[in-house]
Chain A
């Protein structure tokens, strides 16, 4: 052979050097690109928590020029870091590609420069049949392995497939549970025992607080095994009972008090305490799992829940001593699935528990709903289906007579339902065409009706608490609704940030009495009296309006924002700010501060009240204020 190329001599050491340099360069670049990529993921401009915290501080102290400069510098730094890293990754990738190409060219030139004659392997030619057999065998094995790996990866990564399996499992489980519940005479056998226990509990409370008519009421509900529907049909929409009941008023049975309307009926509530010195701090305990829900009270017992992605618990404390009476681990809920992804500021147990003095009801982020007896034993449980809610489910529960009211407005479907407190069976359910809501139901007696009032984009709507029939609806609210409504004197007040504050005169034809746009809330709920409406904002401003006319009486700016809802107790408003300071002021036409008491720990939960005591969930602790 005598070609022009083959006669050329190749400078092998040179090309070897080029290949080595290009290879080393490629490795270095590769390492740097990986490090940079990891850094990009760390420097996430969307979640600059430090800056957000500084901005919050600036909101509290708007004249702090130094802080403002610090925010600007940090903002610039974060953005520079993010975009520089992106540029570095991009440039690095090109350099990596270039260096690999150079290396391949150098290696190829080296290979071509080596003038080796092709050698014939004698052994190969002799064993050609065995060699071919082996080749076929390994090609088959390799192919099979690849197919198996592909199928495995497809199974693991294909989310829909996973969901279908889970859904199918859920349906199957739900069906078995339904059949179990139907054929459950044994469970009913146990009921009398628990009823005795309940009776004892009720009697204890009655001794202290409740009056006789209430005791009759309790026994009436015990006797009622199935009369819910018949009674509802008989009385049509007229509600002759009292709501909230005296027993409820003597306690603090749900989020924002009886019926969830933001009003407590307790007396001698303390106004002064100090977390640092321990003044008037009766006890302090730390529940095992943290959550943003609020405690509820019945008799001497205080209940609250906690959860993380793997564990769900309900706690019962003796409210006088702070002693943990029991912890109920929530397991084995039929149809339960893994907890969905929730945002850290919502958590897996944002909904407060509720009690009727006989059972405690709790709901969690994955839709697990459970009823416990006063000793922490599960009475019934079910999974309502994972709520499709991008922050996490947070609507609290509320009890109306022997029905547990559940607001379940999420992306796939909105509904409100009443479940039997004794069995968990659905008493009524009304589907709602609304968007996701984080607000909680409020149950009130409005004239001769017991109404469940809900707020959710696009409407405020009322449902008959006995039958679930929609009584009225008014399209007047938009956005991601967090605050629950307030009710007083036949008027419902609803608001949401970026929407408006609306006062609705209720009735078959509801009408907007007045609207305001100045002070709106995205988390805390308002509270109302017959005369006044108090609106609390998450950025620290509180406003008082005339409930009838909407005239703004006063506005007051506090140093810190609010997530906890205000509670009206003993003609005073108790309002916990996010830094852990309770602001107590008169529920009046002019702003009169009664006291400001510091707990010293951050709090986003609404406090619970008992005669002479306040119970506050702050940080990871639960505090009892009182003597």
Chain B
């Protein structure tokens, strides 16, 4: 005679498997939900770490590089003698090729009023070499900065530039805050 309420072995194993399957399902759902909530991440440059070594221009899998110079106008001094636009030691401040620092002529200089000039980056021409960024950072306010342009970046799992970056300036950032440039606006927001 069987005792009421006592499970046999087969039932017990059956129940265990059911619990295990249920737990796995919940776990997988949880992981997926977490991933969905936390969102995707993107590669970006920390401008405070960047040393403008020039490897962004050569290491990126995209040609020309997905790294571009951006201009934070808030910070710009609109200088006539712009360290980001002109080669060091220029004799005449003109837009002649012999005076321009940018190897691809990707910076447009526009007269505003004496003695101020506006500098605009032509993204299609910029190759991300960072020469202008270095010049601006050393002599000016540091308004020219290198950033990964996300409409060009293919978001590799292992970013080739991040691997070659000598100052570990590359890191993954949340997709809802894809840029990491420094500037007055950014600081106010923060």
User: Which of B51, B97, B167 is the one whose CB lies under 8 Å from A75?
Assistant: B97
C-alpha spacing A145/B167, complex, angstroms: 37
For the complex, what is the distance from the CA of A499 to the CA of B137, rounded to whole Å? 10
Between A and B, how many residue pairs show CB distances below 8 Å? 67
B63 contacts A539, C-beta separation under 8 Å: no
Q: What chain B residues lie within 8 Å of A86 (beta carbons)?
A: 63-64
- Supposing A46-B54, A79-B105 touch, asked if A72 and B96 sit within 8 A by C-beta, the answer is yes
A159 to B97 CA separation, bound complex (whole angstroms): 39
Shortest C-beta distance, A498 to chain B (Å), equals: 3
**One of A54-62, A102-110, A132-140, A508-516 contacting the partner:** A54-62
Contact B127 A76 (CB under 8 A): no
Instruction: Give Cα A497–Cα B134 distance, bound, in whole angstroms.
Output: 12
* Residues of B with C-beta under 8 A to A68: 96, 98
Knowing A48-B103, A390-B53, the reply to whether A498 touches B97 (Cβ < 8 A) is no
Interface residues in B47-106 (C-beta closer than 8 Å to A) = 51, 53-54, 57-58, 63-64, 83, 87-89, 91-92, 96-98, 100, 103-105
Asked if A210 is at the interface (CB within 8 A of a chain B CB), the reply is: no
Q: For the complex, give the distance between the alpha carbons of A312 and B89 in Å.
A: 36
* B95-138 contact mask (Cβ, 8 Å, vs A): 1 or 0: 01110100111000000000000000000010101010001001
B139 within 8 A of A: yes
Chain B residue numbers with a CB within 8 Å of A570 are none
Interface of A is mostly: helix
Is A40 on the interface with B (CB-CB < 8 A)?
Answer: yes
Does the CB pair B96–A388 fall under 8 Å? no
A496 to chain B, nearest CB (A): 9
**Contact, CB under 8 Å: A46 / B97:** no
A421 to chain B, nearest CB (A): 33
CA–CA, A54 to B97, complex, Å? 11
A627 within 8 A of B: no
Please tell me the size bucket of the interface on A: 20 to 34
Q: Does A311 contact B (CB under 8 A)?
A: no
B182 CB, min distance to chain A CBs, angstroms: 16
Task: Quote the shortest CB–CB distance from A190 to chain B (angstroms).
Answer: 41
**CB contact between A59 and one of B51, B91, B100, B166 (< 8 Å): that residue:** B91
A594 to chain B, nearest CB (A): 27
The reply to whether A55 and B88 form a contact with Cβ atoms under 8 Å apart is no
Contact A388 to B103, CB < 8 A, known contacts A46-B54, A72-B98: no
Interface 1/0s, chain A 513-557, versus B by CB < 8 A? 000000000100000000000000111000000000000000000
The answer for the CA separation of A537 and B83 in the assembled complex, in Å, is 17
**Are B105 and A539 closer than 8 Å at their CB atoms?**
no
Task: Check B163 for interface membership: any CB of A closer than 8 A.
Answer: yes
The B-contacting residues of A in range 328-353, CB under 8 angstroms, are: none
Q: Are A390 and B166 in contact (CB under 8 A)?
A: yes
> Which residues of A, 358-409, contact B by the 8 Å Cβ criterion?
388, 390
Q: Which of B91, B103, B135 has the most CB of A within 10 A?
A: B103
CB-contact partner of B91 in A62, A388, A390, under 8 A: A62
A238 on interface, CB distance cutoff 8 Å:
no
- In the complex, residue of chain B having the shortest beta-carbon distance to the beta carbon of A498: B138
Please measure, in the bound complex, the distance between the C-alpha atom of A381 and the C-alpha atom of B157, giving whole angstroms: 42
Q: Is A322 interfacial (CB-CB < 8 Å)?
A: no
The answer to the question of A82 belonging to the interface, with a C-beta cut-off of 8 Å to chain B, is yes
CB proximity of B124 to chain A, nearest CB, Å: 9
Give the residues in chain A near B135, CB-CB below 8 Å: 498
Closest to B124 in A: A83
Q: Is the CB of B54 within 8 A of A539?
A: no
Chain A 394-430, CB within 8 Å of chain B: the 1/0 string?
0000000000000000010000000000000000000
The residue that A71 contacts in the complex, of B91, B98, B105, B139, with Cβ under 8 A, is B98
Whether B97 lies near A497 (C-beta < 8 A) is no
Please give, as numbers and ranges, the residues of chain B lying within 8 Å of A479 by CB-CB distance. Answer: 138
Q: In the assembly, what is the distance between CA of A497 and CA of B87, in Å?
A: 13
> Which of chain B's residues has its CB closest to A479's CB?
B138
**In this assembly, does A89 line the interface, its C-beta being within 8 Å of a C-beta of chain B?**
yes
Report A-chain residues with C-beta under 8 Å of the C-beta of B167: 411
Residues of A within 8 A of B64 (CB): 86
Asked whether, in the complex, the Cβ of A539 is within 8 Å of the Cβ of B57, the reply is: no
Tell me if B97 and A72 are in contact (CB < 8 A).
yes
Q: Of A59, A388, A497, which is within 8 A of B138 by CB? A: A497
Question: CB-CB < 8 A to B89: which residues of A?
Answer: 59, 537-539
Chain B residues lying within 8 Å of A446, measured Cβ to Cβ, are: none
Contact of A458 with B by CB under 8 A: no
Contact (Cβ within 8 A) A478 B57: no
Q: Nearest-CB distance from A61 to chain B (Å)? A: 10
In the complex formed, the residue of A with least CB distance to B100 is A75
**B104 and A45: CB pair below 8 A?**
yes
Q: Which of B63, B127, B163 contacts A45 (CB 8 A)?
A: B127
How far is it, in angstroms, between the C-alpha of A62 and the C-alpha of B131 when the chains are bound? Answer: 23
- Cβ A55 vs Cβ B98 within 8 A: yes
Interchain CB contact under 8 A, B104 and A76: no
In the complex where A45-B127, A55-B98 touch, is A159 in contact with B104 (Cβ < 8 A)? Answer: no
Q: How far is the CA of A54 from the CA of B98 in the complex (A)?
A: 9
Which residues of chain A are within 8 angstroms of B57 by Cβ–Cβ distance? 46
Chain A, 481-523, CB within 8 A of any chain B CB: 497-499, 522
- Say whether B98 contacts A58, CB under 8 Å: yes
- Given B104, B139, B166, which contacts A388 in the complex, CB threshold below 8 Å? B166
CB distance from B160 to the nearest CB of A (A): 11
Given the known A-B contacts A68-B96, A159-B163, A388-B166, are A478 and B105 also in contact in the complex, defined by CB atoms under 8 Å? Answer: no
- Chain B nearest Cβ from A615, distance in angstroms: 30
Contact B138 A55 (CB under 8 A): no
**B contact residues around A54 at 8 Å (CB):** 98
Q: Are B166 and A75 in contact (CB under 8 A)?
A: no
Determine how close the nearest CB of chain B comes to the CB of A47; give it in whole angstroms: 8
CB within 8 A of B103: which of A45, A71, A538?
A45
Distance between B110 CB and nearest chain A CB, rounded to angstroms = 20
Contact A46 B63 (CB under 8 A): no
Smallest CB–CB gap between A96 and chain B, Å? Answer: 16
How far is it, in angstroms, between the C-alpha of A83 and the C-alpha of B58 when the chains are bound? 15
Q: Which of A1-60 contact B (CB under 8 A)?
A: 40, 45-46, 48, 51, 54-55, 58-59
Contact string against A for B residues 14-42, beta-carbon threshold 8 Å, 1 for contact and 0 otherwise: 00000000000000000000000000000
From B83, B125, B129, B166, A498 is in contact (CB under 8 Å) with B83
A452 CB, nearest partner CB in chain B, Å = 26
- Residue of B at shortest CB range from A539? B89
* Complex: chain A residue closest to B90, CB-CB: A59
Query: Which of A51, A55, A388: most chain B Cβ within 10 A?
Result: A55
B104 touches A82 (CB 8 A): yes
- Give the CA-CA distance A539 to B86 in the complex, in Å: 15
A45-B103, A82-B104 are known contacts. Are A89 and B127 too (CB-CB below 8 A)?
A: no
Q: Are A75 and B91 in contact (CB under 8 A)?
A: no
Q: B63 and A89: CB pair below 8 A?
A: yes
- Cα A330 to Cα B104 in complex, Å, equals 43
- Looking at the assembled complex, report how far the CB atom of B95 sits from the nearest CB atom of chain A, in whole angstroms: 10
In the complex, A522 Cα to B135 Cα: how many Å?
A: 13
6 new A-B contacts at CB < 8 Å, known A46-B127, A86-B63: A46-B103, A79-B104, A390-B166, A411-B51, A498-B83, A539-B89
Nearest 10 pairs of A and B residues by beta carbon: A498-B138, A75-B97, A539-B89, A498-B139, A45-B103, A71-B98, A72-B97, A62-B91, A46-B129, A479-B138
9 pairs, CB–CB < 8 Å, chain A vs chain B: A45-B103, A45-B127, A46-B103, A46-B131, A55-B98, A72-B97, A79-B105, A411-B51, A539-B88
